[in-house]
C-alpha cells in the first residue's frame, strides 16, 4: 500500500482528503498544527476506511518542523507516493488592503506559501532519490484569481500556489512526478464558519455558484482521490476547480 502525506489533515478539507485517500487504498500521514484531538479523530476515520494512519504534528511554516515532518512521515510508512499541500490559514482579521498589517501578511505567506513551496522541495528530492514516481497536489483556492480586497494577503498566497504548481510541474516531469492544483470554492469548514450567513445569501439567493449548494470536504477529497488513483497520467500542472462552477463567466 502506498502512502500520502496530507498537511492540515486534522479538520475540514484536509480531513476530507485524508479519508477519501484511505478509501482509495492509501495509508495516510495526518499532519496538524495544534489540535491533537481533531488529528486523532481524523486518524480514526482513516482507519475506519481501511487504511493505516500516522499522526505527525508540525507547523508547515517552520523550517525545522517541515524537516521533522518529512522524516517522521517516511519513517512511518517507508515511502510517500503523494504529498498534499492542504494546510492553510485565513487572516485573523479581514482588513481592507489600505489598512492591513505586515504581520498578517508575513504570517499568511509563511504558512500558506513558503510552507508548501519548501515542503514540496523536501518531498520532491526524496521522491527523486527513491526513484519511484510520485504525485504532488496543492490546495489553492478560488482566491487565486478572485480579488477580495479585505483579505489581499490570503489572495496573494493562493495566487502564488498556482505558480508553485506550474514551477514544480515543469521541473519534476522528467522524474515521473506529476503536480496538480486543486482549487476549492466555498466549502463548509471551520474556516468559513464565521461567514456562513454571507455565503448562504450568495449561494442560495444570488446564485454565485451555478451549482447552488455549499461544497464539502468530501467534494475536494474525491478530486484528490481521482489524482491519487492515477486517472490523469498525461496531465501535469493542471488546475482542477472544485467550486460548483464559480469560475464560469456568464452573460
Ligand atoms: P480549516 O477548517 O481551518 O482547517 C485548517 C487545517 O490546517 C487544520 O487541520 C489545521 O490544523 C491545519 N493548519 C493550520 N495551520 C497550520 C500550520 N501552520 N501547519 C500545519 N497545519 C496547519 O481550513 P479548511 O477550510 O479545511 O482549509 C484547508 C485548505 O483549503 C486551506 O489551504 C484553505 O486556504 C483552503 N481553502 C478553503 C476553502 C473553504 O471554503 N473552506 C476554500 C478554498 C480553499 P489544526 O487542527 O491543528 O489547527
Average pLDDT over residues 179-196: 97
| Beta-bridge partner residues of 29 | 5, 54
Please indicate whether residue 116, judged by its CB atom, sits closer than 6 Å to ligand 1.
no
Q: What is the sign, positive or negative, of the torsion defined by CA atoms of 194, 197, 203, 206?
A: negative
Q: Quick: pLDDT tens for 215-237.
A: 999 999 999 999 999 999 999 99
Tell me 133's DSSP state: -
Q: Quick: pLDDT tens for 5-17.
A: 999 999 999 999 9
Candidate from 8, 34, 241 with most ligand 1 atoms within 8 A of CB, to mutate: 8
Domain boundaries, the chain: 3-242
Please indicate whether residue 190, judged by its CB atom, sits closer than 6 Å to ligand 1.
yes
Longest dimension (CA), the chain: 53
The question of whether 154 is a catalytic residue gets the answer yes
Element (H, E) at 75: helix 63-77
Per annotation, catalytic residue among 32, 117, 154, 168: 154
Q: In this structure, which topology does domain 3-242 adopt according to CATH?
A: Rossmann fold (3.40.50)
Tell me 134's DSSP state: -
**What is the reported pLDDT for 133?**
87
SS3 83: strand
Q: Is the pTM of this model over 0.95?
A: yes
What percent of the chain has a predicted confidence (pLDDT) above 70? Answer: 100
Please indicate whether residue 186, judged by its CB atom, sits closer than 6 Å to ligand 1.
yes
Tell me 95's DSSP state: -
Amino acid at each position: 500500500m502506498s502512502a500520502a502525506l496530507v498537511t492540515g489533515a486534522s479538520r475540514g478539507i484536509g480531513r476530507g482528503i485524508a479519508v477519501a485517500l484511505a478509501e482509495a487504498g492509501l495509508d495516510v500521514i495526518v499532519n496538524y498544527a495544534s489540535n491533537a484531538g481533531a488529528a486523532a479523530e481524523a486518524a480514526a476515520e482513516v482507519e475506519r476506511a481501511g487504511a493505516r494512519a500516522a499522526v505527525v504534528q508540525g507547523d508547515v511554516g517552520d523550517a525545522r518542523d517541515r524537516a521533522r515532518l518529512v522524516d517522521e512521515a517516511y519513517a512511518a510508512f517507508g515511502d510517500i507516493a503523494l504529498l498534499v499541500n492542504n494546510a492553510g490559514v485565513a487572516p485573523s482579521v479581514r482588513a481592507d488592503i489600505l489598512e492591513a498589517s505586515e504581520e498578517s501578511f508575513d504570517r499568511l505567506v509563511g504558512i500558506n506559501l513558503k510552507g508548501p513551496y519548501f515542503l514540496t522541495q523536501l518531498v520532491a528530492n526524496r521522491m527523486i532519490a527513491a526513484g519511484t514516481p510520485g504525485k504532488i497536489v496543492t490546495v489553492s483556492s478560488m482566491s487565486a484569481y478572485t480579488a477580495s480586497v479585505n483579505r489581499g494577503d490570503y489572495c496573494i498566497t493562493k495566487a502564488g500556489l498556482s505558480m508553485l504548481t506550474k514551477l514544480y510541474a515543469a521541473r519534476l516531469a522528467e522524474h515521473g512526478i506529476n503536480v496538480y492544483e486543486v482549487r476549492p470554492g466555498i466549502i463548509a469548514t471551520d474556516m468559513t464558519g464565521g461567514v456562513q450567513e454571507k455565503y448562504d445569501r450568495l449561494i442560495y439567493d444570488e446564485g454565485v455558484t451555478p451549482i447552488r449548494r455549499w461544497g464539502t470536504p468530501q467534494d475536494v477529497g474525491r478530486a484528490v482521490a481521482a489524482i491519487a488513483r492515477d486517472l490523469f497520467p498525461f496531465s501535469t500542472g493542471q488546475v482542477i476547480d472544485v467550486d460548483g462552477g464559480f469560475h464560469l463567466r456568464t452573460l
